[in-house]
Every structure is written in structure tokens, then in C-alpha cells.
Structure 1
Amino acid sequence: MKAIYFILLTGVLHLSACAQQESAAERAPTTAGTGNEPLPAEVVKELNEQALGDTVVKTEAEWRKLLTPEQYYVLREEGTERAFKNEYNDNKKRGVYNCAACGNPMFTSQTKFDSGTGWPSFYAPISEKRVKEVEDRTMGMVRTEVECARCGSHIGHVFPDGPEPTGLRYCLNSAALKFVKK
């Protein structure tokens, strides 16, 4: 019986780990001090004004053919990848992070910062129309889930403990993103 409680506790701690992070004073944009310059203002403006495009609707069988098993688990089954063992947590390159399922541009390197959680974190999306926020009451917690506004795929969660200017921390799964270097 103790083993079952231990397994359940370990699972809850793993899933809630994204909610644990450093103080605001310890966070810094990941491009700081790396030699990377911010994206040009005209690129950010163009992405912000770009049309969202048609809603993407596919059957689960179509999604399974399109996505890797890990992407399907995260994007379609609302899973979470392992902290610190993902592709974009330490990415410091300049570019855009698109939805891995439909290509919707959602975040830029300009708003990415090191949250210390082990997942890529951003303080703002390119545009509020690019993401959808949904109340998530799973795992005995109340959180705000982040979905792709174009295809409805699970991207991660947003928390109110990020850096200025927004005070938000979009804690995302690398498997839900496709980085395009600019």
C-alpha cells in the first residue's frame, strides 16, 4: 500500500513541477549575453498582424500519422514531457516557435526566458489570437492550459509568476513546438 502512495505522490510532484520556479529576480531572457540580437521589429510586427488561417480539423487517426508518438501524447492527449530532457529548454537561437501540429506561429525567442523549470518558458505569445487559454482542473489542481488557437492542440500551461512586462510564464512542451530559426 505504501508503494502505491509513493507512486501517486511521485506522479503528482512530476506533473506539478512546472509550477515551481525561481524568483523573478533570478530570471533573465535566454538571449541575454549570448550574442543573439532580438528579432527585428518588422518581423515581430508582421507575425503579430499575420492572419491566423483556417481552423485545422483532423481525425485522431490523421493526427497519429502526422505526429511522432511523443508529439501525439503531448499535443493530443495533453501529456507533459520530461523536464530538462527536451529540445528547446536551453535553445538560445533567434527565431519563432510554431505549433508542431499545424504550424501556427505562437511565440518568439524575444519573449523566451530561463524559468529554471526545465521547460521552455515565455512571458508573452506573438499575439493573444494565436493561443487559447482554458481552465484545467486535472490532477487536483486548478491551472490555465494553453492550446493552439488554430488546431486546439495542448501546448502547455500559463502561470502568473513570470517576469515583466506581463508577469506571465507560459510553460510549454518542446514536443508541442517547432522552432524556425530567423
Structure 2
Amino acid sequence: MRWANHGNPPPRRVEKSDAQWRALLSPEQYRITRQKGTEAAHSSEMCGLFEPGRYQCACCGTPLFDAGTKFQSRSGWPSFASPLSEGVVAYHRDDSHGMQRIETTCQVCDAHLGHVFPDGPPPTGLRYCINALALRKEG
């Protein structure tokens, strides 16, 4: 994915101090979004919810995904075929844990979201595997 090497421009920026993020987020949300953690597989009911609406970044409220691109991946995390628009998700090479992956973060506030994999459905062929605690459903 070219953006992992060259970046993509954000629509805006939200920056807060570590203390401000800690005050805003639950301890588990902070661990996942600010410390690049991962929630346990199948720990959220969000995996099985397919109602219309949009999913925002839990940290800054930026709309990231539309429910119309959400699909049942059976991976244990909410999965989407594409973000709402090109500028809202950032991509970074992640060589941790002996794997080569592409990490996804909120382009606006740098919150860790999850990873993107090349095994999703058409038309994108991508699976955005996202921590439920990094998202909040709107609408």
C-alpha cells in the first residue's frame, strides 16, 4: 500500500497531551488507541452489529467508516472493506511480533485503530480489522 511508505494528507489535526487523552478515554481505550494495544478477539458486540450508520474515531470523533462497508470476517474484530474517505486513515509499516503488517491509525489524532489486510471482499479486496474500542457508532 503506497500510503504506508509515503503518507496521505489529513483533513485536519487534533493534538492533545498524554494527560488530556487519559482524562478523555477509559483505561482500555487509552491502552488500545494511544499505546497501540489490541483488544481480545470476540470481546465486542460490535462485530455482529450491521445497522446503518457511521463509525467515528473514539478519540477525536472523526468519521472513519460507514456501516455499508462493514462485513462479517469472523476475525474477532469489526471489519470494513474501506474507510469513509482516503484522508481519514493513515498507514504505517508494522514489523512487530515477527510479522509484516500495515497498521492503521486515525489520520487526524494518530489513534491506533488496527491493521489492514489484503484478504477482504470485492471491490477493494481489503479487510480493515479495527479494534471496537477505537470506534464509536454515530447515527
TM-score of the superposition, structure 2-length normalised?
0.91
Query: What amino acid is aligned across from residue 95 of structure 2 in structure 1?
Result: R
- Post-superposition Cα deviations, 1:117-140, rounded to whole Å, max 9, x if no partner, equal 110000000111010010011111
Residue 28 of structure 2: SS of its match in structure 1? helix
- Post-superposition Cα deviations, 1:36-79, rounded to whole Å, max 9, x if no partner, equal xxxxxxxxxxxxxxx93x31111111100000011001100100
Aligned residue in 1 for 2:18: 60
Q: 2:90 aligns with which of 127, 132, 137?
A: 132
Aligned residue in 2 for 1:146: 104
Q: 1:177 aligns with which of 111, 135, 139?
A: 135
Structure whose alpha-carbon radius of gyration is higher: 1
2:132 corresponds to 1:167: no
Q: 2:31 aligns with which of 66, 73, 83?
A: 73
State the Cα RMSD in Å: 1.1
- Post-superposition Cα deviations, 1:18-43, rounded to whole Å, max 9, x if no partner, equal xxxxxxxxxxxxxxxxxxxxxxxxxx
Q: 2:57 aligns with which of 99, 105, 110?
A: 99
Supply the distance in 2 between the matched residues of 1:128 and 1:68 (Cα, whole angstroms): 28
Structure number with greater CO (CA < 8 Å, separation at least 6) is 2
Give the Å deviation of 1:153.
Answer: 0.6
Residue 113 of structure 2: SS of its match in structure 1? strand
TM-score of the superposition, structure 1-length normalised?
0.70
- Post-superposition Cα deviations, 1:133-169, rounded to whole Å, max 9, x if no partner, equal 1001111111000000000110000000100000000
Give the Å deviation of 1:100.
Answer: 0.2
Residue 151 of structure 1: SS of its match in structure 2? coil
User: Which runs of 5 or more structure 2 residues have no equivalent in the other structure?
Assistant: 1-9
Supply the distance in 2 between the matched residues of 1:69 and 1:128 (Cα, whole angstroms): 29
User: Which runs of 5 or more structure 1 residues have no equivalent in the other structure?
Assistant: 1-50
Greater fraction of residues in helix: 1
Query: What amino acid is aligned across from residue 78 of structure 1 in structure 2?
Result: K
Compare 54-63 and 95-104 and name the one that shifted more: 54-63
Greater fraction of residues in strand: 2
Supply the distance in 1 between the matched residues of 2:54 and 2:26 (Cα, whole angstroms): 21
Aligned residue in 2 for 1:118: 76
